[in-house]
Amino acid sequence: MMSSSVIDILQLEYQRFSAKEKEIADYVMRNRSSINNINIKELAAHTNTSTSTITRFCKKAGCDTFVEFKIRLNREVQKPRNDANFFMKTQHLYNDIVNATAEMLDTSRIEEVVKLIKVSRRIYIYGLGSSGLSALEFKYRLSRMNIVVDAITDAHMMMMSASLLGKHDLVIGISNSGLTTEVSHAMEEARKRGATTIGITNFDHTPLSEVSDICLFTPDIGRSGDVNFINSQLAIIYILDVVSLLLLEDEKLLQARQQTLNALYSEE
């Protein structure tokens, strides 16, 4: 179900926008605190577009008029903060992203993912770069629950593993942009072989979301308004935390995790 948040819709639908509509979306996200103070003609001038283009853009964002768009956006925008203190600024950024991730969570999809992890014969997690680090983190968590899993962070190995999968296997692909071709191509191959595919990404209507049987969406850190914010994996780790905690509701998985903890502690 589509989120009712205007900011969420702009993110999820971004790849469907025309070039001009993307310019409007970019301008709105950069200046969302002041959009309420301008009219449609002023926005058209700022974005080198027309009022009719802005009206179409607003409809794609789930609003009938620009006025409705401004009202809904204004409700979502928090009051400006004094970000001179970098410690407080970081705290606010983390809070914003965690809150946005919680709001975007589709609980039914999360529960379906948990069920698939439990029943799949084997699980592969694909990711490159920083997303590869998240893939490895999730592998370690699942391994400690005695789940057959591997994380692959090399493009060639992804395609090789995908070609050997079958209908009882599960692939989880992680990519913030959804445009990491190596991940989406490997997932497409796995899907052809009968494997179930799960995507974790910021954007809908991308190569990754198109090859995912289930897609879990996370907020784009760019919406924080701070281009220097470096933790691109925070929202993804939040998702992995939720899935991990739900898995540990299973007594067998919890027991297996406890056994690994006991084994590690006995070595100290």
Instruction: For 199-229, write each residue's pLDDT tens digit.
Output: 999 999 999 999 999 999 998 876 655 556 6
Q: Is the pLDDT of residue 1 over 50?
A: no
Compute the distance between CA of residue 235 and CA of residue 68 in angstroms, rounded to an integer.
Answer: 29
Tens of pLDDT, residues 111-169: 999 999 999 999 999 999 999 999 999 999 999 999 999 999 999 999 999 999 999 99
At 126, the amino acid letter reads Y
- What pLDDT was estimated at residue 49? 94
Q: Of 133, 214, 130, 123, which is closest to residue 161 (Cα–Cα)?
A: 123
- For 75, 149, 176, 181, the CA distances from 126, given in Å and listed in that order, are 37, 11, 12, 12
Q: How far apart are CA 171 and CA 36, in angstroms?
A: 43
- Strand partners for 64: none
Q: Domains in the chain and their CATH numbers?
A: 6-76 (1.10.10.10), 106-266 (3.40.50.10490)
CB neighbours of 254 closer than 8 A, spacing ≥ 6? Answer: 145, 248
Segment 76-89 shows an average pLDDT of 64
Q: What is the pTM of this model?
A: 0.78
Instruction: Quick: pLDDT tens for 13-61.
Output: 899 999 999 999 999 988 888 888 899 999 999 999 999 999 999 999 9
Q: Reply yes or no on whether the pLDDT at 9 is more than 60.
A: yes
pLDDT category at 84 given cuts 50, 70, 90 is low
Integer angstrom CA distances of residue 13 from 55, 58, 101, 206, 219: 16, 12, 17, 10, 12
Q: Name the percent of the chain lying above pLDDT 90.
A: 69
In the prediction, which pLDDT does 78 show? Answer: 61
pLDDT, the chain, mean: 90
> What is the structure's pLDDT at 2?
46
Token readout for 157 is: 């190995």
